Amino acid sequence: MYPGAFITDIGYKGFGYEIEINDNLELYFDGSGRLIG
C-alpha cells in the first residue's frame, strides 16, 4: 500500500488507533482494524 514506508508512531484514541508513518502521513483505524481515514 505504501512501499518504502515504515511506522514511526502508534497511538490509541477513543475511536481506535492512529498510525503515523515516516512521511508524516497519519492513518486512522477503528477498533476492528478498518481504515477510516
Specify the DSSP class assigned to residue 35: B
Query: Looking up cell 515504515, which residue turns up?
Result: 6
- Return the pLDDT at 24: 84
Which element (helix H / strand E) includes 11? Answer: strand 7-13
Q: How many Å separate Cα 1 from the centre of its chain?
A: 12
pLDDT digits (tens, 9 = 90+) for 1-37: 678 889 999 999 999 999 999 988 999 999 999 999 8
- Return the pLDDT at 21: 94
Contact 22, 5 (CB under 8 A): yes
Max CA distance (Å), the chain: 29
HSE at residue 33, side-chain half, CA atoms within 13 A, is 0
